[in-house]
Structures are given as structure tokens and as C-alpha cells.
Structure 1
Amino acid sequence: MRWTIKPEPEPHLVSQLASELNISELVASLLIQRGISTFEQAKQFFRPTLDDLHDPYLMKDMDKAVHRIEKAISDQENILVFGDYDVDGTTAVSLVSSYLKTIYPNIATYIPDRYDEGYGISYKGIDFADDNGFSLIIALDCGIKSIDHVAYAKEKNIDFIICDHHRPGENLPEAIAVLDPKRNDCFYPYDELCGCGVGFKLIQALAQNNGDSIDDLIPYLDLVATAIAADIVPMTGENRILAKFGLEVINANPRPGIKALIQNVKKKVLTITDVVFIIAPRINAAGRIKHGNHAVELLTEFNLEQAQQFASEIEGYNVDRKDLDKKITIEALAQIEDNNEKEKFTTVVYNENWHKGVIGIVASRLTETYYRPTLVFTKSGDKLAASARSVKDFDVYNALEKCSEHLEQFGGHMYAAGMTLKEENYLKFKEAFEKVVQETIHPDLLIPEILIDAEMDLTDINPKLIRLLNQFEPFGPENMTPVFVAKNVVDTGYGKAIGQQEEHLKLFVKQTNSEGFGVIGFGLGKKLELTQNHQPFEIAFCIDENEFNGNVTVQLRAKDIR
């Protein structure tokens, strides 16, 4: 692990903010690192409100999108809501379709089949719209590069409204409206929305036109928060506001589909981390193992009993997904060993029998193991399809762009992408990708980094600090859980490795004059010897509250020890 301590902010700024807010300099320093340096900014950070959301009409083409939908409603046209099969896509389709159904009946949904149609807008989907009399398609979380598909639809007199958040190519599709804050000519104040977030801005604009307030849209925020958490977009600006209020809906009054997914969770209050690890994988499992339609059915079902039935089917898909992902990861690791490719700058593996629905998860697992840009390929029809995952600060999308001569199509963003190629181009592409990464990646990026916010003494940990840190939530990219480092820490002699393979570490640590704190270090079992015989060590950690039998205690979650 590479330990990187963030630069300390200017001392006079820290003391000024600390005195303005009546907080410790440690907390003031954490705020400034997050770009919060004034009383007003701190107020917005600690007390966000839905009134802080931007006017949806600031987004390029929003007026055209709303006008076209209103025309479709007044002319009694059939509207098809189309979206990708992952969490962002299925929540977006559920959001927009369920909102539109409250004002107009002629609404249907369409999720492409991951195996038969692949990612994004499909010709099959357009043919379905044509055969069934749909004259308007609203595409969510996809479509920004679908120039040919939109032209094909136009020939059939079908209009498109595209709501996407991926990077556009040089030209945009000739749709009625293209809502994408990453458009070069779009000056919307926040460009990190996920696909469901762009969908939310669309219904916000429609609601405004109908004379509804933002409070009328609160019931939809459980879907938006789920998409924000799953899509790993920055937890800043509008995303943080929508995630915060969406989490409140998930905890207080979620839609029946989400209620059914979380009914067996023992925790009183779910955090954004629980959304990432409990809700999102299950919604994703539908599209990975069976069909994304199952996720939309679940999320738009308003009868709790029926929702529970759908949720139990999805639970089954999730169990299958876990088994497949485990099996394929073992096979992929063996392939890397057998081909003697551990010393390369990239991981690229292929097996025609691997299940296309889990190759993204396997790519993430391999990235965790070897920590380098990773591609996992499988056979998809007469082509090969792959999922890409990257390491921190390396743009895998740019690397793919430099090898695009070997690819049929590709799309995505900095840390995750998808692509297809002809089988005969696989080896050429593999060589080109290795070469590009080797020439462009900084060697440090191949060593996992722990980004440390500040050094602290264990005596600084008190109820006020914990109360304030809890208000930094929801956490996510660009607003991560604060990581601290404490030096000259000793274990009081109770340290042990725990878990089936003794892979985890449990300690009870102190510094001179501090009280003792329990420590849990997941995956750090091998570090036990560094902590024995009362020898001092340094610990990088987050501060957690651990609830057991109704008692809440402070616990340090170790990230690394040295």
C-alpha cells in the first residue's frame, strides 16, 4: 500500500473556518479538503435542502424534451421508455415510466436483452417500437453515441429523446432532444449526474410545468439514491443532495420493491454503503442472470405481496450470480498464472464460455488482485465482448480510444467501460492495449493507494467529532469516509487474527494518555506480527460506530498498518 497524506490546507483558513463554525481545526481541515471554505458552503454541506437543486431548464434541450413529451400526451401517442439493463438504467426507466403513468396511461418500458441485443439502444428495440405503434422513445442511461440507431428510428417516424451521462463522441445523434450534462455545449451547473439523475431532471422539469413542487417528487428519490450509489458517481453537489434525501426515503418509506429487497436486513438505518452492497447487486442480478425487465417489474410494483414474490426471484438470481462470479474469477486467475502474465501492465483474459453477465464483476475482482487496468472477454454472438475496469487515476476509456482501430464499438467512462471486437482482432488489440497502458501509466498508479486526510491522536476522538463526521454522509467519490493516521500506537496484548483463514485482524489499541479502542482490520490478518510484543506501529483507519445488542461503541476500521 502507498500511503499518501493529503496536503494540509493553509493554517489561517483552517483556524478562520474553525472559529466561524465553532468546530475543531481537524474538522475544519477536512471541510477545506472537500472544497468547503466558507460558512455558507458549510451550511449547504451540513444542511442540504431540495431547494439547492438546480433549475432543470438550465440543461441544454430540456425545453425541447418537455415540449415533445407534452405534445405526445396531447396527441395520444404511445411513449416507450427505454433503458440499459444495469442499476442506473433500470432505476431510470422505473423512475420516468412510473412518473409519466401518473399523468398519462400510454406508457410502456423496454430493457434490451444483455445477450441478444447488448448494451444501449438496439435495432430490435426500435423494431419493437415500430411494430407496436410507439412514435416516441425516451432513452435513459444510453444513446449518446447511437447516431445510426436514431437515424434508423427516424426512417420509421419514431422520435427519440436521449437522457445520458456518458461522454459524447464528436457528433450527437439527431434526436429531438439530447439531455447530457457532459455535452460540450451544455452549461448545466453540475455535470456528474448519473443516468437516473438526468431522468430525474426530466421529470422535475415536467412536474414544474404541471405546477407540482419538488416535494411531490420525494417518493422517487429512493430510485435516484440507489442509482447514484451503484454508479459510483461523485458524491458532491446535486448527487449528494439527491442521495441524502433518497436515503431518507429508503429508511422511512421506500417503494414496495425496495422494501421487499431489504426486509431481511437487520440494521435499523441503512447507509449508502448498504445500498451499494445490498440493494444494487440484487437489482443488477436480474439483468446479469435473467433479464433487466425483472428489475423494472420489481421497482414499479405497488402491491407489496407481489413485490415480495419478485424480490425472492431476484434473490435467486443473485445467488446464481455469486456462484458464477466465484467460479469465473478462479478460472481467470488460473489463466493469468498459466500464461505467466503477472508482470504485465494490464490484465486481459478471455474464455468463450464465461457468462457475459458477470464479467464486469470478475474484472473488478482481478483489479483488486493484481491492481492494474483489466479487461475480461467472453464470446457474444459472432463477436467478443469485454468489460473493463481501471485503477485509481488511470483513464481506461482514453486507453481504449487509442486502440479503437481494433474495436467494433466501445463506451463508458474513466474507471469502467464495455466493448466488442471481432475474434480475429483479439490478440492485436491485447498487444495494443498493453503497449498503450505501458507507455501512459505512471508506475505509482500500479500500487494501491490509501489517501489519508489527516494525522490525529486517539485523544482527539470524542462524541462531538463523531457527531460531525456522521454529518459528512452520504459518502462516495470526492467525499470519501475520512481516513486518519495515528502514530506510536500499541496493542494492549489482545491482538489476534480472526476469520476462517485468519485473514482479518482484531486489536485493542492505545496511545500514551488515550483511552483504548477496538480495531477491526478486514484482510489485514498477516499484519498481526507488526502489532505484537507492545511494539509501536502506525495505523491508517476510519472511525466507525459499532452497534451490538443495542450498545453503540466506537471502533477503528484499519485500512493498513506499518
Structure 2
Amino acid sequence: MLQSQSNWKFTYKQNIDDHVEFPNLSLSPLTERLLSQRGITSTDEAKSFLNPEIDDLLSPAQLSDIEKAAERVKLAIDQGESILVFGDYDADGVSSTTVMVEALRELGAICEYYIPNRFTEGYGPNEAAFRQAHEEGFQIIITVDTGIAAVQEADIAKQLGIDLIITDHHEVQEKLPDAFAIIHPKCSENYSFKELAGVGVAFKFAEYLLGYFPNDLLDLVAIGTIADLVPLKAENRILAYHGLKAISKSKRPGIQALRKQCNIEGAFTEEDIGFLVGPRINAVGRLQDAYPAVELLLTNDVEEAEEIAQFIQQLNQERQKIVADITNEAEAIVQSDHSGNNDCVIVVAKEGWNEGVLGIVASKLVRTYQRPAIVLSINKDKGHAKGSARSIDAFDLFSNCMQIKETFIHFGGHAQAAGMSLNEENIEMLRQRLNQLAGEQLSVNDYKQLLNVDSSIDISELNVDLVKEIAKLSPFGMGNPKPLFHIKASPKELRQIGSQLNHLKISFQSDQSQLDSIGFGMGTLFSTIAPQSEIDAVGELQINEWNGKKKVQLLLKDLAIEEWQLFDYRGSKHLQKQLVSAFDYETSLVINSQSNSAENVLSEIYHSSYQELSLEGLKNKQIKDLILLDLPTELDQLSNVLSIVKPERIYACYHVNDGQYFSSLPIREDFKWFYAMLLKRKQFELNRDIPKLTRHKGWKEEKIKFIIKVFYELEFVKMDNGIIIPNPNPSKKDLTESLTYQNKINQSEIEAKLYYSNYNELKNWISHQLDKDSSTKEEVSYGL
């Protein structure tokens, strides 16, 4: 048995009756089912999903206040007023800023941009920046990807005579800012799609201002939309789909320089944006002012673009090291905390941590501990703490934090991610209140990551063309996750790979079909999987190309094994190596015989011999791993243990030195011949006559001694100083009455079942014992 690390939700089983066919699209049944599961019920919907059209985008005019805002901007352009674009320092904010600046400059506006410093100003608009803008002569401030929570700052702008136009997409709080105009999907009753990214909202405003659809800005829209993890459905899907096409063809020097730094060849994918481009743009604002990132996207100078991209690459490498260091420190804090205060929600804080990377650290803590995490950097001089939070699917971070909003100085974000600042003295209160809320709302299973499994498939169904067809459902992301598939098969090959053996490679075999799979970071599972086990695996299908040959590959997300596992190490001379880290010492039991053969093996685990074990004592123990170092002297000894313990994993580690199975049992004619010979000769001298008999009959010495011992136990012979003489008046007894004879038969049977059997025979025998009902067994202590 191997417990999955995540909760698996088989969505296709819930919607099995909802499968819709699309006969005119020539799709495989699997792809049709995937479309059905995404709520697509007609051929027209399927066509639109597979081939998103720009014409299906909503009109920007449906956004509230957009006309009012546009008229004000055009008046400013006509009157030569100065406009300041106020952005944010992440990839969405940077791309939003670039979109708005380019659109305004194209219209001839006197335009500059401003992005607050994360460390000195924090997130969003602030009074000092607005007063500075007023002193510099700006009459209009347009926020992009920020501003919906800037209630106080909007009042400041009004006092200064600045017209504030807010374009944002973040969650709307209880009170809206008193701004000149607010362009926000969630504040627009007539705008049906509410989930645009910040760059999507800025793009809509740019389109309305320009009076045409600006295709040349779609490359920027792709960056913000994908990097900000908004749901890639409806409008976002259209923008991301065409944005990826645009960025793949983009001649923008900044994009070309990023492509070079990221080693991206061919068309951009959503993974390229999410894992390569986005993190590099984010790295700038995480470590310093985000201006270089905006300049990279705005510049028309190739040399300048390459220079900035190289600088950003260096910042990203520095960011990676900082993240690793802080993550190690945060994990050490969590692991050393035995108070239980972080059991439901992790809240860690330390002076000196870089505020810019705390969101990444929080994400890593969530993945490691499967709990919501808040990571704070303490500023002792101000008595404040500032940081970021990330959550699990089952815990809405935004709504829960809003219940304790008095704890914060500033707070904003989404259900799964948020930023905040608070007084240092409130950190413990934050920890207690959130842990209390999570404890009331969440069950044990809620803390496990949820994997929505789209389909169970047979390996024989898979081919490269099918995987290519499934890829037409891209771009994948939030709201349109990459499909996860479930397979059930036994491994043909199972091994650890990577320089540190931290990855797992499994080649599954089913009939004549084979499927390679790889699990990154799953190398530690190697020792928990018996090579012959049937494995349930969940993962993403992809195409692996090597030396020009394309093969289907499964990118593993999770593994499970439903049945108990047998690890067959019989006769092995390398037990220490094979068993290292293979089990949990607290729930393990090692059984050895009275020979103490386990003296130097697994000495740190509690050992017990078959003779010492009590069935009643076993009933009260939780045993997950049973390690058998020696054969029992009776099959019932092991059978009774198995029927009570019922372990998840059994390690058969015993070996046989002087086996009885292959040493033949003398037949009755052998006994008759020897006894007749003894009656005729009257005596048999062991030292002198055994060598003669071995030459005469071809018998082994052990066989002769065995016959003599059986006769002695049955009192057919007497023994005196190595001389055997027949008993003149023996009682009539059967050979089976000899204990030596019984033991040999018994030991031969034990070896046959437990040692010389093949893997399947041994597993079947053990399974039969595990299925026995132990409730009727009496309490006994094992012994002869």
C-alpha cells in the first residue's frame, strides 16, 4: 500500500452521463469527453473553444466609467495636460503599465509612468507619490493593476485637484475609492466577464482610447494574463491564445532579448510565460525598482534591450538564491515549533527577510506542508511586519482575512494569494485567529492538494497524435487546467534518476504497450514501491522527443498503491542498503528467530522473535511495516501474526543456509533396508561404517544420520559411544511419530511456501493469511 499525497477527484465519473459528441469536428472520444467536462455542450461552443476568435471578445464600452475616463484623457491630450500611469511591480503590473503608456503615447499624450518601490512604499498608490506627481505637474493619474483599495489616496488626489482614473481587477473591498472613474469588471454590471487580469483591463481601456483593436499590444497581454494566474477561460482564453501567437512572432526588442535569455525556441507556450518570462520580470520588482522591466518592454533599441535583459537575468539568479535561503530558514522555524500554533495555518516571521520574495517562499511552504502559509518580514525600526500569503484550495484567504481585517494596516489580494502589512505585536494574534478559523472550517483531507482527474486511460490507447489533439485545448492554466489522466499498471522498470537521485522514472507495461513516466522530485518514493506492485498513477500526457523520435510520456503528479506490498529480498546479502529509509520506524516490527540473526540489522527497530510474540499484544499495535528476517518454525506462527497485524508492507528478508527442501527425505524402503542391515550385522559403528555406507549406497552422511536419529527417537535402536545396536524388543511405531521426522517434513513445507516459491505464489499465500479473521483466535504465546 502507498498512500497518495493528494486527494484525487475523478471528475469524469461524476459527469459520465454528460458526455457530448461533436460529430463534425473529427475528435477522439477522449477529447470530446474533455470538452464536455469543461462545460462545452454544442459543436459551436467546441469550435469557439478550440479556435478562439478575437471577434468573440466583449466590447470595452460595456465597462462602467470607460467613456467618462476616455473623454477626460482625450481632453488632457488636447489641452497638453500631463498624465501619469501608476503601475505595479509584478509581471501583470509591468505589462499593464507598458500597454497603457504605449497607447497614450500613440495618441500623442504627455505621459510618464510610476511604479512604487516595494520596500519603501509598499503595494499600491500612496500619498507621497500622489503629492510628488502633483508637484511635477500631472493632472491625471491612471492606475493599472492596482488602486481599487486606495480609498484614502483617492481622497488625497481629489484634494490635490488630480483626476484619478482607476483600472484594476483585484477584489473589491467594502468601500470604493472616490475616484474620477473606476474601470473594473467587478464594478461593471453590464460587463459579463469579471476575471480579466490587470493587463486585460488596461488593454480594454487602450482599445477604447485608440478606437481600434491593437494587435501589436497582444504580446504584452499574454505576459500579464498568464503570469497573474487568472482563469484562462472566456475572454482570458481568447487573449492568452492570440497573445501567445503574437508574442511568438513579436519583433519587440525586449521580447527578443527575453527569448534569448530564456533559451526559448519556436512558439511561446503558457509554460514559457509562467516559468521563464514571468519570473524574470517579477524578479526586478522583488529586489529593486521595477523600472528596468518596463523599459525592457518599451525600448525600441536592440542593444539596450539585450543589456537590460542580461541585467534582469542576473537579478533573477540572485532572487533564486535569496528564495532558497529564506525558505530554508522558514522551514527550520516551522519544524522547530512544537507548540501546535502553526498546525492549520503557517505564520512565520523574521527580521531581515527580503519582502520581495516572500510570496514565492509562502508558495513553497504550502507545497511542502500542504497548509496555508503567511511569510512576514519584520521591520524593528517601524514596529511593522510586511509579507505575503498563499493558500490551499479549501481555504479562502481573502474572505477569512477580511473577517479579522482589524489585525492589518494594509491588506489585499485574492482567495489563494494576498499581501499584507501589520504591527509586529499583532503577528501572534494573526496566527491564532487564522488557525482558529481554519480549524473550524477544514477537515484533514482539506489540507491535501486536490487533483481533478479527467479520465482513466489504458496504455494501449495512447499515441502521439492523440496527445497532439489534446494539446488543442491549450493554453492551460487557472480555469482550464492541463488534463490529468489516471493509469493502472505494473512497472516494467523502476529507478531513481538525476545527479542526486531525486527523480523517479517508471516504465509501465500493459500487454504489448509501454509508457514511460517521470516524477520530478519523487525519487524518495523509490524505496516505498515494490517492483511487482500494481500502481495507480496520475499525471499529464506529453510528448518526449529524443534523437528525432517522439514518444508519449506521463509527467507524474501523484502515485498510489491500493493493496499491501511485498518486498522480496529473500536470500539478499545487501539488506542494509535495500531497507534504508524504506519504512517508518515508529510503525515497524522486525521478527527474527532465536538465532539473533538480526543483531546487526535494523538494530534501532524493536525486534521480537516468533517465540516471544503475543497475539494479544499485537492487537494493540499499529504495524504498517513487517520485516521478516527469519523463517518461522511453524507456518501457523506467521499465519497468526499476519491475520492480526495486517501490515501495509511486508519485507521478506530471510535466507536459508541448510535448507531441508532440497535435501531429500529418505523413503520407507531406505529405512527398511538400513534396519535389516543393522539386524544382520548386529551393530553399526558411526565413525567407521558411515564412510563405507556412503560409498556403497551413494547416500549422503546427513541422510544416514537422519535415519539413525529417527530410529533412536522411536526406540528402534540404542546408541552407546558411537555404536548403534538394534533394540531386541521395539514397540511398533510409525515413522511420523518421530519429532525429527516431523520437523524435517514441516521445515521442508515452510521452505517450499516461504522461500523457494516464486513472487506470486508467496504473495498469494500471504494474502490468504491476511484475509483470515483473527477474531476467533485464542490468545497464545508462540513456542514449540
Asked whether the two chains share a fold, i.e. TM above 0.5, the reply is: yes
> How far apart are the structure 1 equivalents of 2:191 and 2:264?
41
Query: SS in structure 1 opposite 2:389?
Result: strand
Q: In structure 1, what residue type is equivalent to 2:414?
A: H
For residue 253 of structure 2, the aligned residue among 248, 252, 256 is 256
Q: Is the 8 A contact 1:372 1:390 kept in 2?
A: yes
Which deviates more from structure 2 when the two are superposed, residues 220-229 or residues 334-343? 334-343
Q: Is the 8 A contact 1:161 1:178 kept in 2?
A: yes
| CA deviation vs aligned residue, 1:167-220 (integer Å, no higher than 9, x gap) | 11222111121011122x533121110111100110111122xxx3x2xx1221
Say what the alpha-carbon RMSD is for the aligned residues. Answer: 1.7
Q: In structure 2, what residue type is equivalent to 1:496?
A: R
Alignment match, 2:511? 512
| CA deviation vs aligned residue, 1:442-495 (integer Å, no higher than 9, x gap) | 3322012222011111122134422321111100012111111112x12223x2
> How far apart are the structure 1 equivalents of 2:258 and 2:200?
22
Q: In structure 1, what residue type is equivalent to 2:371?
A: R
Does residue 91 of structure 1 match 2:88? no
> How far apart are the structure 2 equivalents of 1:5 and 1:36?
18
Alignment match, 1:181? 185
CA drift of 1:250 comes to: 1.9
Does residue 447 of structure 1 match 2:448? yes
Does residue 77 of structure 1 match 2:75? no
Alignment match, 1:230? 227
Q: Is the 8 A contact 2:463 2:552 kept in 1?
A: no
> How far apart are the structure 2 equivalents of 1:525 and 1:43?
41
Q: In structure 2, what residue type is equivalent to 1:510?
A: Q
CA drift of 1:3 comes to: 1.6
Does residue 206 of structure 1 match 2:209? yes
> How far apart are the structure 2 equivalents of 1:244 and 1:339?
46
Alignment match, 2:197? 194
With over 3 angstroms needed to count, the CA separation of the structure-2 counterparts of 1:148 and 1:12, relative to structure 1, is: closer
Alignment match, 1:345? 344
Alignment match, 1:274? 272
> How far apart are the structure 2 equivalents of 1:58 and 1:518?
50
Q: Is the 8 A contact 2:345 2:431 kept in 1?
A: no
Q: Is the 8 A contact 1:543 1:555 kept in 2?
A: yes
Equivalent runs, 1:158-177 vs 2, <5 Å: 158-177=162-181
Does residue 32 of structure 1 match 2:26? no
With over 3 angstroms needed to count, the CA separation of the structure-2 counterparts of 1:430 and 1:11, relative to structure 1, is: closer
Larger Rg: 2
With over 3 angstroms needed to count, the CA separation of the structure-2 counterparts of 1:135 and 1:328, relative to structure 1, is: same
> How far apart are the structure 1 equivalents of 2:185 and 2:545?
41
> How far apart are the structure 2 equivalents of 1:560 and 1:425?
38
Question: Which gives a bigger RCO, structure 1 or 2 (Cα 8 Å, sep 6+)?
Answer: 1
Equivalent runs, 1:417-496 vs 2, <5 Å: 417-487=418-488, 489-493=489-493, 495-496=494-495
Q: Is the 8 A contact 1:349 1:377 kept in 2?
A: yes
For residue 137 of structure 1, the aligned residue among 130, 141, 146 is 141
| CA deviation vs aligned residue, 1:272-302 (integer Å, no higher than 9, x gap) | 0111111011101111112111111111111
Query: SS in structure 2 opposite 1:92?
Result: helix
Q: Is the 8 A contact 1:99 1:203 kept in 2?
A: yes
> How far apart are the structure 1 equivalents of 2:193 and 2:148?
18
Q: Is the 8 A contact 2:221 2:240 kept in 1?
A: yes
Equivalent runs, 1:335-374 vs 2, <5 Å: 335-340=333-338, 344-374=343-373
CA drift of 1:105 comes to: 4.2
| CA deviation vs aligned residue, 1:207-247 (integer Å, no higher than 9, x gap) | 22xxx3x2xx1221111111111111101011111111111
CA drift of 1:9 comes to: 6.0
Equivalent runs, 1:103-118 vs 2, <5 Å: 103-118=107-122
Q: Is the 8 A contact 1:257 1:311 kept in 2?
A: yes
Q: In structure 1, what residue type is equivalent to 2:230?
A: V
Q: Matched residue pairs, number?
A: 551
For residue 306 of structure 2, the aligned residue among 291, 301, 308 is 308
CA drift of 1:261 comes to: 1.3
Query: SS in structure 2 opposite 1:104?
Result: coil
> How far apart are the structure 2 equivalents of 1:312 and 1:21?
46
Q: Is the 8 A contact 1:235 1:475 kept in 2?
A: yes
The runs of 5 or more residues in structure 2 that have no matched partner are 1-5, 561-784
For residue 6 of structure 1, the aligned residue among 8, 11, 20 is 11
Alignment match, 1:125? 129
CA drift of 1:385 comes to: 0.7
Query: SS in structure 2 opposite 1:541?
Result: strand
Which deviates more from structure 2 when the two are superposed, residues 419-428 or residues 548-557? 548-557
Q: Is the 8 A contact 2:66 2:181 kept in 1?
A: yes
Equivalent runs, 1:398-413 vs 2, <5 Å: 398-413=399-414
Which deviates more from structure 2 when the two are superposed, residues 1-10 or residues 398-407? 1-10
> How far apart are the structure 2 equivalents of 1:123 and 1:243?
35
Alignment match, 2:243? 246
The runs of 5 or more residues in structure 1 that have no matched partner are none
Query: SS in structure 1 opposite 2:536?
Result: strand
Q: Is the 8 A contact 2:231 2:477 kept in 1?
A: yes
Q: In structure 1, what residue type is equivalent to 2:25?
A: L
